[in-house]
Amino acid sequence: MKPVIGLTSQSEEIKGTKLNKLKYTYIDAIEAAGAIPIVLPNLKNIEDLDQILKRLDGLFFTGGEDISPLLYDEEAIKFTTEISYERDRMEMSLFKAAYKKGLPILGICRGLQMINISLGGTLYQDIPSQVEDSHGHFSTYDIKGGYHRIDIFEDTFLFDIFKEKKLAVNSQHHQSIKDLGVDLKINSRSSDGIIEGIESKLNNHFLLGVQFHPEAMVLRDERFLKVFSYFVNRCSK
Ligand code: MN
């Protein structure tokens, strides 16, 4: 049986109509890796999450808008503008329940940041204005190819996936991890010191987060599908 994986999504009001949206590249990547993707809306009834989690083999926190800085006890700076109370509330509750159950978890971009905050970490709200001498981390025109390189540390899931110490990745984020959450370790950094990936320190728990977008890179480079097949494989156990 193929594993069933829940994907988080964004709720957004456009011209007076509320929509649920998720880039199809996330859905396609999970399907291509051999699992069944199920898109989860931002529910109001948080008490129903346990029932949903019973039916899932893994949870995928997708990319998107900024997370409210109130969740890590900071006031928003002027560069933090796109926040969604509904999505923050849904994802944080979902993460906590799934983490407690030991469900395999993947986080991409905002997803990595949500994992970190849910485990007590904090973020740089805006890399260009808060991190001195930082490099470019936000390319917009073409995110199918590499934009900057990362150093991948050995003895990590990410190294096990790529078997490379240096990897060119895309980058479309203006925020990044500042203080690391509890029981997390860093699996990669860019040369300006920005944290580009995290995973669980606990051996019995599969939790992987990356700041780059393998779901977009896979369109040009098949190696990036391995991030998803590795995760799907963990969800099959
Ligand atoms: Mn980056």
41 Cα–ligand 1 center, Å: 28
Q: Pick 83 or 160 by higher pLDDT.
A: 160
148 Cα–ligand 1 center, Å: 7
Could you tell me the pTM of the whole model? 0.96
Predicted confidence at residue 237, as pLDDT, reads 79
Task: Indicate if the pLDDT at residue 58 is higher than 90.
Answer: yes
pLDDT in tens, 86-124: 999 999 999 999 999 999 999 999 999 999 999 999 999
User: With 0-12 CB in 10 A as exposed, 13-18 as middle and 19+ as buried, what is 47?
Assistant: exposed
Neighbours of ion ligand 1 (CB under 5 A): 137, 171
List residues with catalytic annotation. Answer: 109, 213, 215
Let me know: does 45 contact 90? Beta carbons within 8 Å.
no
Task: Indicate if the pLDDT at residue 14 is higher than 90.
Answer: no
Predicted confidence at residue 86, as pLDDT, reads 93
Predicted confidence at residue 140, as pLDDT, reads 86
2 Cα–ligand 1 center, Å: 32
pLDDT in tens, 174-207: 999 999 999 999 999 999 999 999 999 997 889 9
127 Cα–ligand 1 center, Å: 10
Q: What is the mean pLDDT of residues 160-167?
A: 97
Which of 83-87, 152-156, 161-165 has the least mean pLDDT?
A: 83-87
- Residues with Cβ within 8 Å of 199's Cβ and at least 6 positions away in sequence, in order, are 156, 157, 158, 184, 185, 187, 207, 208, 209
State the pLDDT confidence band at 13, using cuts at 50, 70 and 90: confident
56 Cα–ligand 1 center, Å: 30
Q: Is 49 helix (H, G, I), strand (E, B) or coil?
A: helix
Task: Indicate if the pLDDT at residue 70 is higher than 80.
Answer: yes
Give whole-number Cα distances, 196 to 51, 52, 103, 222, in Å: 33, 30, 22, 20
Predicted confidence at residue 141, as pLDDT, reads 82
